[in-house]
């Protein structure tokens, strides 16, 4: 299987310019197994040959590796910390030091639920102050389809199941069977296409210079090989502002600890701060 997997990686890179080698080998093999079944091909080696002559299949495989899933207020503990401690801390520091806006990056934003959840919390955190503090959220993903959905800001009843009634009434409008994110919340988020593995940039071009106070990179790292995980975390560490926060998914706690460069901010929550910057 190893030889067949390597052939598939070479075909995707050389024939279609798509480097899939950074993905975790087990995840990659399982994804290819599903494509073997769908295409009626028996072995990895045979699938490699099939791929080399079938651009459409290469595109399907490539798309299958972009896991796009998000929820509103997905992790109760993490979002409680952001609501009660992290965002108030950032607002207070910006106000005290007169340092301008709070800058937030949501990596792997999928359909936008997480980004809009943060936007709602940011509005609540800044609305209670007499001295306004601006908050700008940059949300990025590899999928144009998911980004289009995020920008539309339209969600089903099931999608908004985690949104409390107070926020649902305040931050959404009802249109038949859909809930539409309020324009003032949507204006807080800038969605854009961006690859975290881009070697030529340290942050999304739309953000210009990075300097993020908070980065959410939830359920992204687990799909990559350890060396790629370290590259992503190093990029995040470099684009965080002094005293910034990193939030990852529950299954990624050990990944961040093992990579080094970050310390737990609120154990056992998956919130970290860089070890080499102030805070």
Residue among 163, 84, 145 nearest 109 (CA): 145
- 85 preceded by cis ω (within 30°)? no
Please report, for the chain, the start and end positions of each structural domain, with discontinuous segments joined by +: 2-64, 76-274
Judged against a pLDDT cut of 50, whether residue 278 lies above it is answered with no
pLDDT tops 70 at residue 99: no
Q: What is the pLDDT of residue 186?
A: 97
Helix ranges (DSSP H) in the chain: 2-16, 25-39, 44-52, 55-64, 76-81, 87-97, 113-127, 144-152, 165-171, 183-186, 226-239, 253-259
User: In this structure, are residues 232 and 219 in contact, taking their beta carbons and an 8 Å threshold?
Assistant: no
Q: Work out the mean pLDDT of the chain and round it to a whole number.
A: 93
> Is the pLDDT at 279 greater than 60, yes or no?
no
Query: 76-274, superfamily in CATH?
Result: Vaccinia Virus protein VP39 (3.40.50.150)
User: Tens digits of per-residue pLDDT, 181-224?
Assistant: 999 999 999 999 999 999 889 889 998 888 999 999 999 999 99
> Does residue 117 carry a pLDDT above 70?
yes
Position 11 pLDDT exceeds 90: yes
pLDDT per residue as tens digits for the range 238-263: 999 988 999 999 999 999 999 999 99
pLDDT of 22 higher than 90: yes
pLDDT at 101 over 70: yes
Summarised one tens digit per residue, pLDDT across range 27-85 is 999 999 999 999 999 999 999 999 999 999 999 999 999 888 899 999 999 999 999 99
């Amino acid at each position: 299987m190893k030889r067949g997997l390597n052939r598939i990686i070479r075909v995707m890179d050389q024939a279609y310019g798509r480097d899939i080698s950074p993905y975790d080998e087990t995840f990659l093999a399982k994804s290819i197994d599903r494509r073997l079944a769908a295409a009626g091909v028996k072995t990895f080696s045979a699938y490699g040959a099939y791929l080399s002559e079938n651009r459409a299949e290469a595109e399907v495989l490539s798309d299958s590796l972009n896991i796009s899933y998000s929820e509103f207020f997905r992790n109760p503990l993490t979002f409680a910390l952001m609501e009660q401690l992290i965002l108030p801390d950032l607002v207070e520091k910006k106000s005290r030091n007169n340092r301008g806006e709070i800058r937030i990056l949501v990596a792997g934003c999928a359909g936008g639920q997480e980004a809009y959840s943060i936007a709602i919390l940011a509005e609540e955190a800044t609305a209670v102050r007499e001295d306004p503090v601006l908050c700008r959220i940059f949300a990025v993903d590899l999928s144009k389809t998911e980004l289009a959905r995020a920008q539309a800001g339209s969600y089903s009843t099931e999608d908004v199941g985690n949104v409390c009634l107070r926020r649902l009434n305040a931050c959404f409008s009802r249109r038949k069977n859909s809930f539409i994110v309020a324009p003032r919340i949507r204006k807080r988020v800038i969605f854009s296409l961006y690859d975290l593995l881009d070697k030529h940039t340290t942050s999304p071009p739309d953000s210009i210079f990075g300097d993020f106070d908070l980065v959410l990179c939830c359920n992204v790292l687990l799909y990559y090989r350890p060396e790629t995980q370290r590259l992503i975390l190093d990029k995040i560490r470099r684009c965080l502002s002094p005293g910034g926060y990193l939030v990852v998914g529950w299954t990624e706690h050990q990944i961040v600890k093992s990579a080094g460069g970050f310390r737990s901010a609120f154990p056992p929550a998956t919130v970290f701060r860089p070890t080499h910057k102030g805070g």
